[in-house]
Amino acid sequence: MLLEGKRVLVTGVLTDQSIAFSVARCAQEQGAEIVLTSFGRAMSLTKRVARRLPTQPDVLELDVADPSHLQAVGAELERRWGRLDGVLHAIGFAPEACLGGDFLRAGWEDVATAVHVSAYSLKALAEMALPLMKGAGSPEGRGGGSIVGLDFDATVAWPAYDWMGVAKAALESTARYLARDLGPVGVRVNLVAAGPLRTVAAKSIAGFEKFEDAWVARAPLGWSITDPDPVARACVALLSDWFPATTGEIIHVDGGYHAIGA
């Protein structure tokens, strides 16, 4: 029961194949009370899949690029819980022109959307959560909590990933600066760099399958492209109190692929 008594906001649940869905399920199994977010046409999908969790959570509307939505969610969490112990950032989007292998095709407007939704949104979520996290934390009264984001290793150029790779690099840098500024109030900010998984988002990227076979072959521990549970467990561990002195970190959950050369 790593998260017993914890209250956690989980973004990014779209289907039961979503990494965020596995995180939500694992968090509940470990004792957390959770709320999901979604928006627009995806709201109905999120509400439907929420019924498949051990305990059906509420779904709040949140377009992370809309300040009024962030303000409304913060106010609702304040009314509902009065504090927040953890946030899962599982948000990423890039227009079609930003993906697929033709890096030069995308214009600034599309790139700006990718960076805003996929990277700046981590800062926006943290800013919303911070007042609620200052009221959480230890019995001694020190505020605190954990913000965990989902990453895909941005240290190299991947087939087809293009500007989403740039956005992930921005996400990694954003997490480090947030770790610097939120550490003094006890809020940890970490990322989990997952190996490739066949989520709805991954399936939408033309050419994403090019390195799936290579990943399975090269990862020392092996890798299942259909099993998000190892990633979910890492996220839940980081959301818990078992990493009290870890922040600004990127934890690779990829079967060890990142450590192996050609």
Q: Tell me how far apart the alpha carbons of residues 205 and 226 are, in angstroms, rounded to a whole number.
A: 16
> Which region among 172-181, 212-221, 233-242, 252-261 has the lowest average model confidence (pLDDT)?
212-221
Contact assessment for residue 152 and residue 168, using Cβ atoms and an 8 Å cutoff:
yes
Q: Tell me how far apart the alpha carbons of residues 244 and 251 are, in angstroms, rounded to a whole number.
A: 15
Residues annotated as part of the active site: 161, 168
Taking CA atoms, 245 is separated from 23, 30, 140, 186, 249, in Å, by 22, 21, 17, 9, 10
Taking CA atoms, 150 is separated from 212, 233, 251, in Å, by 18, 12, 10
**Residue 204 scores a pLDDT above 70:** no
**Residue 45 scores a pLDDT above 80:** yes
**Residue 258 scores a pLDDT above 50:** yes
Taking CA atoms, 232 is separated from 28, 38, 73, 192, 194, in Å, by 12, 19, 24, 9, 10
For residue 193, give both structure tokens.
């760099």
pLDDT, averaged across the chain? 93
Q: Tell me how far apart the alpha carbons of residues 248 and 179 are, in angstroms, rounded to a whole number.
A: 5
**Matching residue, tokens 């790779």:** 165
**Residue 251 scores a pLDDT above 70:** yes
User: Residue 108 — φ and ψ, nearest 5°?
Assistant: -60, -35
What is the strand order of the sheet 59-61 is part of? 59-61, 33-38, 7-10, 86-89, 145-151, 187-194, 250-253
Predicted confidence band at 165 (pLDDT cuts at 50, 70, 90)? very high
Domains and CATH numbers, the chain: 7-259 (3.40.50.720)
**Residue 156 scores a pLDDT above 90:** yes
Q: Tell me how far apart the alpha carbons of residues 206 and 228 are, in angstroms, rounded to a whole number.
A: 21
- Ranges of beta strands (E only) in the chain are 7-10, 33-38, 59-61, 86-89, 145-151, 187-194, 250-253
**Residue 160 scores a pLDDT above 70:** yes
Nearest residue to 157 via CA among 169, 145, 141, 146: 169
Contact assessment for residue 37 and residue 61, using Cβ atoms and an 8 Å cutoff:
yes
How many helices (DSSP H) and strands (DSSP E) are in the chain? 9, 7
- Report pLDDT digits (tens) over 55-109: 999 999 999 999 999 999 999 999 999 999 999 999 999 999 999 899 999 999 9
